[in-house]
Amino acid sequence: MQSLFFSTPADRLALVRQRYFEEGKLPSGAVSDAVFQSWARCQRQKQDPRGKIEFQPVSASRAQLALQKNHLLRDAWLAEATELNAVLGATLCGAMLTDPSGVLIGATETGRTHEKITPVAHRIGVNFSEEALGTTAPGIVARTGQAVCVQGGEHYFASVSAMHCAAAPIRDIHGNLAGVLNLSSEGRAFNFDSATVVGLYATSIENRLLLSRSHDYLVVRFQISPSLLDTPMAGLMGVDTQGTIVWKNAVASRLLGSLAGGEQPAALSVDDVLQSSFAELASVRLGTHVLLRLSNGLQVHARCQLQARDTHHPVVALGTVAPASVAHDASPDATPIQSSDAATQANQAANEPTEPTELTEPTEPASLRDADVDLIAKTLKECAGNVSAAARKLQVSRGLIYRRIQGA
């Protein structure tokens, strides 16, 4: 009788593989359901787990098409690749990016002395789909859209059991799979939480991709802590000039949860979610983060940004707002904006007799440029945030409006 007590996880996994592939015994609890389902799919395709696989690229034309079609995804990857490579540092791990079908379109440096498989596998155009390479982390994510780790002998083909992989999905503004980020280690298991690392960098790449596809959208980033606004843990939403939320990243979806009343409508309004209109968000000048109250009652810190199609600047911060209902909760760095009713009440209060206050230095007169920006902000509000309409009303180019707002 074979003993279930082995000295290493690799030995235990070898027994699980033997019992499954040779005796047909299910690996219940020994491997994740994602890995087991992949094994089953590969078996149905009549793949031999003892066979030797080759990391063959797709045709040159298909590889070139993958690079061209996914150039925004690749640009987002390149913006993160240097930092990712530095973070991996002495871990002797590598990273790669595939398109939604599993074709490799980017990879970090390879060629370490102990690597035999990685330099061959990490070539532009290599097909990592389940049909081509069996059970691998990038292959499973390309197939299912769900993050996964595949360790050593969990790979379908025994010839690549030296590899350890962790992969996470990257999604586009429609929520569809746009690509897969994968971390790999050859010859040794990860000595850190690979799922967390690959998830954070996949989110960073995804956020860059979302922003690159958000021309003329108002981008709102929000989180419960202001220190998270410039990290991959920030919630992001793209809002069009009608106030409709066109897209939101996974963090934003988790923060928003379900709206009151059950199922969320197909098209969410920023008024419903943030209780502030597009005009209110877009017409306020550049400032710090503010407090907003989500429809589920959660209070978050937020910043608003607008990306212009006809400028070279990727993201332009427009300003910040917060409903009057949370104004008293604002931190020193959070500047709320009052609603029209609250503003009226404030003006009435200002006209009432008050106790004398300490004299202060007079404020500096507004410059011509400030007046220019004020006029643009006012016109934007009158045009409900429609930049094109505001440009026509002021008889200037849209680019000038973007540059003035940026200079604010």
- Note whether residue 260 is domain-resident: yes
Are 377 and 371 in contact, with CB atoms under 8 Å apart?
no
Shared-domain flag, residues 250 and 324: yes
For residues 170 and 146, give the distance between their C-alpha atoms in angstroms, rounded to a whole number: 10
Shared-domain flag, residues 177 and 28: yes
**Which amino acid does the sequence have at 153?**
G
**Phi/psi at 223 (nearest 5 deg)?**
-160, 165
Helix ranges restricted to H, 24-158: 33-44, 60-69, 71-88, 118-121, 130-133, 137-144
Shared-domain flag, residues 257 and 385: yes
In the block, residue with structure tokens 């220019």: 372
Q: Which CATH number characterizes residue 84's domain? A: 3.30.450.40
pTM for this one?
Answer: 0.76
**Which amino acid does the sequence have at 120?**
V
Shared-domain flag, residues 184 and 228: no
Find the helix packing angle between 71-88 and 60-69, rounded to 10°. 90
**Is residue 279 exposed (0-12), middle (13-18) or buried (19+ Cβ within 10 Å)?**
middle
- Note whether residue 349 is domain-resident: no
- Note whether residue 299 is domain-resident: yes
- Note whether residue 134 is domain-resident: yes
Find the helix packing angle between 387-394 and 368-382, rounded to 10°. 120
For residues 198 and 215, give the distance between their C-alpha atoms in angstroms, rounded to a whole number: 28
Domain final residue pick, 160, 185, 211: 211
Domain final residue pick, 162, 194, 211: 211
Domain final residue pick, 211, 237, 260: 211
Number of domains in the chain: 2
For residues 165 and 155, give the distance between their C-alpha atoms in angstroms, rounded to a whole number: 9
Shared-domain flag, residues 206 and 219: no
For residues 25 and 277, give the distance between their C-alpha atoms in angstroms, rounded to a whole number: 59
pLDDT at 9: 80
Shared-domain flag, residues 67 and 97: yes
Half-sphere exposure of 131 (CA within 13 A, CB side): 6
Helix ranges restricted to H, 145-193: none
Shared-domain flag, residues 200 and 251: no
* Sequence-distant (≥ 6) Cβ neighbours of residue 377 within 8 angstroms: 283, 284, 285, 405
Count H helices and E strands in the chain, helices first.
15, 12
- Note whether residue 82 is domain-resident: yes
Shared-domain flag, residues 112 and 225: no
pLDDT at 352: 45
**Phi/psi at 350 (nearest 5 deg)?**
-65, -25
- Note whether residue 259 is domain-resident: yes
- Note whether residue 205 is domain-resident: yes
* Sequence-distant (≥ 6) Cβ neighbours of residue 246 within 8 angstroms: 173, 214, 217, 238, 239, 240
Shared-domain flag, residues 245 and 307: yes
**The domain containing residue 298 runs over which residues?**
214-337+368-407
Report residue 172 CA to chain centroid gap: 9
- Note whether residue 4 is domain-resident: no
pLDDT at 400: 74
* Sequence-distant (≥ 6) Cβ neighbours of residue 266 within 8 angstroms: none
Shared-domain flag, residues 119 and 100: yes
For residues 117 and 163, give the distance between their C-alpha atoms in angstroms, rounded to a whole number: 8
> Pick from 184, 185, 224, 229: which is nearest to 207 by CA?
229
Shared-domain flag, residues 139 and 236: no
Mean pLDDT in each 10-residue stretch from start to end of the chain (408 residues)?
Answer: 62 90 89 96 95 92 96 97 92 95 93 87 96 97 97 95 97 95 95 96 96 88 93 93 91 80 65 85 67 90 74 38 38 44 42 38 46 76 78 78 65
For residues 56 and 46, give the distance between their C-alpha atoms in angstroms, rounded to a whole number: 19
C-alpha triplet 372, 324, 266: angle, nearest 5°:
90
Shared-domain flag, residues 34 and 181: yes
Are 70 and 78 in contact, with CB atoms under 8 Å apart?
no
